[in-house]
Amino acid sequence: MSTAERALQATRLNDLLQDALPAEVISAAVDAVGRDRLAVISSFGTQSGALLKIVADVDPNIPVIFIDTGWMFAETLQYRDALVDQLHLSNVRSVLPQTATLERLDPEADLWSANPDLCCKLRKIDTLHTAMTDFDASINGRKRFQAATRADIPIVELDGGQLKFNPFAQMTLRDIELIYATAKLPQHPLVASGFSSIGCMPCTSRTLPGEDPRAGRWRGRAKTECGIHRSD
């Protein structure tokens, strides 16, 4: 399918799914490209369990991609394993940056401080781009309430010629909490320590009461997104 055809498909699906429940959006994604050509992108962060629960209810065999940048909190890796076990997710793929690229461009592992944009590109964007060559569409857990940069995300969009489904776009924090409570999902271990949004260890800090949930990401810098979502 050409990019123009995919763009038209994205527009039609977005119009069709405006009032759809998250499970219905995920099912529509499976119907659009097939399970094996669809990937869920999950950070296994503070709210990831809610989306993964709905994905597992639709089909626990849908591929899930986790980008292990090499800078993940140990607690995030533990949380990944706990959710995979509880939700019986059968096709979770942890993908890592190319070792040769890191040795050449980040030999001292300090690029996160000197040039965080390039660090994100090498460790996240390029890694995901490589992983997504096997797929035609992705599902992610972005919500409009998370940040100003996400306030207008559609239900379905085109990202680099591939369909991107945002089934939780219209969900509220209360909706997320209800899924966690109903399904008895564990919280990310760092939530109790004041982390409301969790990425790589060097670029993530605690948030204060009343702050934007993503205020602890790249604190003190103009940077607000890692860049894996082009629409951001």
Domain of residue 86 covers 3-203
pLDDT in the model for residue 171: 92
CB 24 within 8 A of CB 156: no
Is residue 226 assigned to a domain?
Answer: no
What does the pLDDT look like over 36-46, one tens digit per residue? 999 999 999 99
Does 230 map to a domain? no
Domain count, the chain: 1
pLDDT digits (tens, 9 = 90+) for 100-119: 999 999 999 999 999 999 99
Beta bridge partners of 61: none
DSSP-assigned states of every residue in 44-69: --TTHHHHHHHHHHH-TTS-EEEE--
Instruction: Check 119, 120, 200, 226 and give the catalytic one.
Output: 226
Write b or e for each residue in 89-125: b if 16 or more Cβ atoms lie within 10 A of its Cβ, otherwise e: bebbeeeebeeeebeeebeeeebbeeebeebbbbbbb
Q: Which helix or strand (DSSP H or E) is residue 16 part of?
A: helix 3-16
Helical pair 22-33 and 48-58, crossing angle rounded to 10 deg: 60
Q: Label residue 33 left, alpha or beta by phi (over 0 means left) and psi (-120 to 50 means alpha).
A: alpha
The secondary structure of 135-194, three-state, reads CCEEECCCCHHHCHHHCCCCCEEEECCEEEECCCCCCCHHHHHHHHHHHCCCCCCCHHHC
Q: What are phi and psi of 40, to 5 degrees?
A: -90, 125
Q: What is the DSSP letter of 88?
A: T
pLDDT for 231: 45
Q: Is residue 217 part of a domain?
A: no
185 in a domain, yes or no?
A: yes
- Among 137, 140, 117, which Cα is nearest to 67's? 140
Burial class (CB in 10 A: 0-12, 13-18, 19+), 64: buried
Q: Identify the residue whose tokens are 């605690």.
A: 206
Question: Is there a domain that residue 94 lies in?
Answer: yes
Task: Give domain status of residue 220, yes or no.
Answer: no
Q: Any catalytic annotation for residue 203? A: no
Confidence at residue 115, expressed as pLDDT on a 0 to 100 scale: 95
| Higher pLDDT pick, 163 / 230 | 163
What mean pLDDT is reported for the chain? 92
- Could you tell me how far CA 107 lies from the centroid of its own chain? 27
CATH number for the domain including 156?
3.40.50.620
Answer whether residue 211 is part of any domain.
no
pLDDT score at 214: 82
> Residue 114 falls within a domain, yes or no?
yes
